[in-house]
Structure 1
Amino acid sequence: MRPTQTNKGSNHETYKVEEQNELLPFLLKVMENRSRNSVKSILTRGQVSVDNVPTTKHNYELQPGQTVAILKNKVAAKVNNISGFTILHEDKEIIVINKEAGLLSIANAKEKDVTAYSQLMDYVRIESPKNRIFVVHRLDRDTSGVMVFAKDEMVKRKLQDNWKDIVKERSYLALVEGTVKKLKGTISSWLRESSTLVMYSSAREGDGVHAVTHYEKIQSNSSYSLLKVNLETGRKNQIRVHMNDIGHPIVGDKKYGATTNTIKRLGLHASVLAFEHPKTGKLARFEADAPKVFKQKSK
């Protein structure tokens, strides 16, 4: 009996597992019009996921009730041409990516380079020219890590209007100059922007927008420290300003006090973003592994 296809017309073909089976025989059954080698290639290229978890194991043991999703070839080809980010998650409402340092989130008046936004717009339009994506939040060009985009304007508004309440965890990793002495700390100030578009802290209550940053030291040596940073507020350049405020600017951040750039990028990475899903209301948690150089430099 051929498994039931549960989703048509999207970037994936999805099938419900109705009886225990190994993954490769299952795929050969649902893609009976393809050769064995073609099906094996699709699996090897990472186009197959089970319950939203990608796998390349031919003998993966499937259980009844699980869902197998197969990324369509034309979409896979487009994904292979994406540069500067990888897709961590996609459903009908959102797309979550891991952005690399150096890629703009979205074009601005001065820079019209290829952006995460422009590439994702091309990606969703493979399915339909009418499809669009919407920016929910941004990361600085030289900051890497987790970003979420909405697939329609209503979802975007729901996320943005309720951002403070629905976001349950927003963590960064910061590689900073010098040895941070305290194991944990909190930085609180009021941020203002100068005429030259540089953010700075004011200790005077009400003088700007309130910003609160919590940090915890992971490891350090005589030159660098690696910190886990949690945002209580999300202000422009908040972490960069606050790290400079405590005398430990982020590596590579010349704008905010850094004197070194041995890693050839900004030492800031958005590692975790967890929020209530706009459709289901359930907690959705996404994590992007730390750049290896962060840990290497701070050992």
Structure 2
Amino acid sequence: MKRIFEYDIKDTDLPCNAGEYLKRIGCSHQILVRLKKTEKGILVNEEWAYVRTPLKAGDLLKITLTEEAPSENIVPIPLPLSIVYEDQDILLLNKPADMPVHPSINNYDNTLANGVAWYYAQKGESFVFRCINRLDRDTTGLLILAKHALSASVLSAQMKNREIHRTYQAVVAGTPPFSEGTVDAPIARKEGSVMERCVDFEKGERAVTHYRVLKEGKDCSLLELSLETGRTHQIRVHMKHLGCPLLGDYLYYPDFSQIHRVALHSCALSFPHPMTGETMHFEAPLPEDMKKPFL
């Protein structure tokens, strides 16, 4: 992979040197180190430059990002991918259920990463797997992958600064007390458990989930949920706390009579494009297994 980025320096950008400008647009320390080691990685007006090179109004700053080696320990496997959007900087996928995102113990060749590695291997392109928002194995829906180090750096900062807005849909047991509302309850690791979390008003970290009822069934409801925070198992723990646990949740509500997985779907993502700043919005339709309780 080789990507070249050009920046026209304006009066409003000054005073700064090349390194300061690059940090401002999202280049991490690791990217700057890589650029310094790359022949002609940083150019000012087509002349090889350094991070300390001072910039002037009217200068053309050019950087070249190269990546030759693909991700290690990710075996390319022909797995189905649902590609929602792709350009030179990002890849949006609609992840199916029962597919881990990354390889792990006992999951070496059945992950989203394996399928992406195969996709790019068939195109003759090296690809480092950089997943920006994580989904559990059974959660379906939208995932952002960064296609190079700079887009990954910018998107990671957006995630940290809550500029990536995530919307979920969930099928829950029963119906919440109100048609819409907010759960503001701190979450901590459950004592004695490696995986489980719980609401803990003494030791927990603040967690906020907004919900809205979209549809009511005989004994369950379809909710739309948006997150202000990103705690582990936040939606699952908050819905149980509300008295409406997710159907098929093996940890918090192991009732598989209507659906055989955690009934959670990442249905929408909105964020500024990491390179252009353009507002991007994507949606993924509700999976068939989550529709069945309402048919």
Fold shared, TM-score > 0.5 on shorter chain: yes
Aligned partners of 1:178, 1:128: CA distance in 2, in Å? 50
TM-fit CA distance, 1:199? 1.2
1:189 aligns with 2:185: yes
Aligned partners of 1:168, 1:198: CA distance in 2, in Å? 26
- Residue in 2 aligned with 1:66? none
1:131 to 1:254, Cα distance in 2 relative to 1, 3 A: closer
TM-fit CA distance, 1:163? 1.1
1:295 to 1:127, Cα distance in 2 relative to 1, 3 A: closer
- Residue in 2 aligned with 1:198? 196
Runs (4+) off by over 4 Å: none
Amino acid in structure 2 at the alignment position of 1:202: D
- Residue in 2 aligned with 1:276? 272
Aligned partners of 1:129, 1:168: CA distance in 2, in Å? 28
Tell me which protein shows more strand as a share of its residues. Answer: 1
Aligned partners of 1:120, 1:283: CA distance in 2, in Å? 25
5+ long unaligned stretches in structure 2: 3-77
TM-fit CA distance, 1:166? 5.9
TM-fit CA distance, 1:261? 3.7
- Residue in 2 aligned with 1:255? 251
- Residue in 2 aligned with 1:220? 216
TM-fit CA distance, 1:110? 4.9
- Residue in 1 aligned with 2:79? 82
1:260 to 1:130, Cα distance in 2 relative to 1, 3 A: closer
TM-fit CA distance, 1:87? 0.5
Q: Note if contact 2:250-2:262 (Cα within 8 Å) is conserved in structure 1.
A: no
Q: Secondary structure at the match of 1:160?
A: helix
1:99 aligns with 2:95: yes
- State the Cα deviation string for residues 71-110 of structure 1 (Å, max 9, x = none): xxxxxxxxxx532x40001100111000011011111245
Q: Note if contact 2:269-2:283 (Cα within 8 Å) is conserved in structure 1.
A: yes
Q: Note if contact 1:101-1:142 (Cα within 8 Å) is conserved in structure 2.
A: yes
Q: Note if contact 1:250-1:258 (Cα within 8 Å) is conserved in structure 2.
A: no
Amino acid in structure 1 at the alignment position of 2:189: E
Mapping of 1:278-293 within 5 angstroms?
Answer: 278-293=274-289
Amino acid in structure 2 at the alignment position of 1:135: C
Among all aligned residue pairs of Structure 1 and Structure 2, give the percentage whose two residues are the same amino acid: 32
Q: Secondary structure at the match of 1:209?
A: coil
Q: Note if contact 2:79-2:114 (Cα within 8 Å) is conserved in structure 1.
A: no
5+ long unaligned stretches in structure 1: 1-8, 10-80
Q: Note if contact 2:250-2:261 (Cα within 8 Å) is conserved in structure 1.
A: no
Aligned partners of 1:221, 1:128: CA distance in 2, in Å? 49
User: Residue 172 of structure 2 is aligned with which of 164, 171, 176?
Assistant: 176
Amino acid in structure 2 at the alignment position of 1:201: V
Aligned partners of 1:143, 1:219: CA distance in 2, in Å? 20
- State the Cα deviation string for residues 15-65 of structure 1 (Å, max 9, x = none): xxxxxxxxxxxxxxxxxxxxxxxxxxxxxxxxxxxxxxxxxxxxxxxxxxx
